[in-house]
Amino acid sequence: MNFRRLLYKTALLVACATLFNACEKDDDNDPKVTVTKATGFYITNEGAFGNSNAELSFFNYSENSITNNLFKTVNNRPLGDVLQSMTIFGNKGYLVLNNSSKVEVVKLPSLKEAGVITGLVAPRYITTLPNGKIAVSEWNTQGSVSIIDTNTLSVVKSIPVGTGPEKMVVKGNYLLVANGGGFAVDSTISVIDLTTLTEVRKIKVGYNPKDIEVDNNGTVWVLSYGYVTYDMITWEMIHLKPSSLSSLSSDLTSVSATVKIADQTHPQYLECSADKKTLFYGGGYGFQGIFKFNPSTKTIDSTPVIDKAFYGFAINPVTNEIVGTEAPSFTLPGTVYRYTSAGVEIANYSTGIGPNNIVFVTVQE
């Protein structure tokens, strides 16, 4: 029993360390929306691989309290196996269950079950598209992005992309997909034309791009994890390629600038400040600290905002509060930490197992 779990854990930890999704990637397409208040945030607890104990938690700012095990409490059934991410679209929440190969749809804010999207293989992240559609990145046998009609919850089209697609962002009429490498290696961004729903080109960036963001100038930034392998004799980590940040040219054909992060450390997540003038990177297994990056001067602050290793983190899109998660084990609950934008701890709360992802709920006032 333990051995099987261990095998799964290895697969999980070595090859598929989870990624993170915090900012609403597409909100730069809709400048009319002015976010005025964040009422709280959801925490996706991935659970232990192969145990179907993923759960959803919610932190409420006005009550200053966290509620765990929300899905089971409301729907009286388990959510699934490895909750990778959550995306809010309209009055629905889309919960991506990686090892269950499905997306559970819930009504918001009640979290009552409202349907399920199947026909996917190892889904990772969702990005919302115009006309009531969403895009799901899937690791599949070959990496792909499936376009889903949210009215029928059926797959409209499945588009082959690179290996291990992760985060996506919409830029103009294009969907940009970070091909993170999955269980192997990749170093490209797929550019998908949203009219024809076909991949028009791949842009070569750094090794294993995991995350992608758009700054206040509309520039697309890609975080590449770098490339790591293990020595077959000593089993020491060999750092083959460094981690880096790259910006894409405005016509989305090439890389316009590259900033090396480090040869020997490998962050997984890229987030942006409320005004999108600052980017933050950090998080993932074994990466210490959350660091600031200024996209206009292309400089990295040498000292981290918070000098702590997080499993994942996010920035409050109104207050710039930093929220980091910690997954000390996959058998016991994790912890979520709140910090001021300057990195001073406000409070911490116990979550479900393996908290990996924060999704803020915002309202207009």
Partner 1 sequence: MRRLLFFISLLTTFTCLAGNKIDNDGAKPDSIINLKEVAIVSSSLHSLNTSTFQLTIPSKLIARSGGQSLQELLSSNTSLTVNQYGNGGLSTVSIRGAGSGHTAVLWNGVSLQSPMNGGVNFSLIPTILLDEVAISHGGQGSLYGSGSVGGTIQLNTLADVPAGLGVSLVLNSGSFSNYFSGLKVNYGTKKIAFSIRTFWQDAKNNFEFTNDAKYGHPTEKLQNGEFNQYGALASFLYKITNNQQFTIRAWGQYHNKNLPPLMTNEISKQNEKNSDLRISADWMGNHNQFQWTIQSAFLSNKNHFVDSITKTDAINLGKTLQNRAELTWFLHPEHRLVVQLLHLMEQGESDNYSNNITRHRISLMAGYRLAPENGRYSFAVSGREELVEGSLKQPTFSAGGSLRVIKHLDIQANISKSYRIPTLNDLYWAVWGNPNLKPEIGFNQDLGVHFLREKENSTIDFNLSAFNNDVSNWIIWIPEGSIWTPKNIRKVHARGFESKASLKYYFSKNWNIHLNASYQFTKTTQSGDKDAPAYNKQLIYIPKNKFTVNTSISYKEFELSYTYRYTGARFTDELNEEKALSGYTLNDLYLLSNFTLHSNKLSIKLSVNNLLDTKYQSVAWYPMPGRNYLFSIIWSYNNFK
Query: If you write DSSP's letter for every residue of 91-102 in order, what string do you get?
Result: TEEEEEETTTTE
- Our CB check for partner 1 shows the closer of 48 and 222 to be 48
Q: How far is CA 109 from the centre of its chain?
A: 21
Closest CB 119 distance from partner 1, rounded Å: 8
- Our CB check for partner 1 shows the closer of 246 and 268 to be 268
Closest CB 235 distance from partner 1, rounded Å: 4
Residue 351 backbone dihedrals phi, psi, to 5 degrees? -120, -160
- Our CB check for partner 1 shows the closer of 63 and 231 to be 231
- Our CB check for partner 1 shows the closer of 72 and 92 to be 72
Closest CB 194 distance from partner 1, rounded Å: 27
Closest CB 11 distance from partner 1, rounded Å: 5
Closest CB 116 distance from partner 1, rounded Å: 4
Exposure b/e, 62-93, CB count within 10 A at least 16 = b: eeeebebebbeeeeeeebbbbbbbbbbbeeeb
Closest CB 231 distance from partner 1, rounded Å: 8
Pick from 281, 221, 215: nearest CA to 252? 221
Question: Are 14 and 284 spatial neighbours (Cβ–Cβ below 8 Å)?
Answer: no
Residue 361 backbone dihedrals phi, psi, to 5 degrees? -105, 120
- Our CB check for partner 1 shows the closer of 160 and 328 to be 328
Dihedral angle sign, alpha carbons of residues 300, 306, 311, 315: negative
Closest CB 113 distance from partner 1, rounded Å: 5
Place of tokens 């232990």: 48
Closest CB 332 distance from partner 1, rounded Å: 6
- Our CB check for partner 1 shows the closer of 69 and 341 to be 69
Can you give the binding site for partner 1, defined by CB under 8 A?
1-4, 6-7, 9-11, 13, 15-16, 50-53, 69, 72, 77-81, 97, 99-102, 104, 113, 115-116, 118, 120-122, 139-141, 182-184, 230, 232-236, 285-286, 309, 327-333, 353
- Name the strands in the sheet holding 312-315, side by side, starting at the edge strand that comes first in the sequence: 312-315, 322-326, 335-339, 345-350
- Our CB check for partner 1 shows the closer of 147 and 327 to be 327
Geometric angle at alpha carbon 258, from 257 and 260, rounded to 5°? 160
- What CA–CA distance (Å, rounded) separates 284 from 124? 15
Task: Give the CA dihedral 174, 181, 288, 317, nearest 10 degrees.
Answer: 20
- Our CB check for partner 1 shows the closer of 119 and 132 to be 119
Geometric angle at alpha carbon 136, from 321 and 70, rounded to 5°? 55
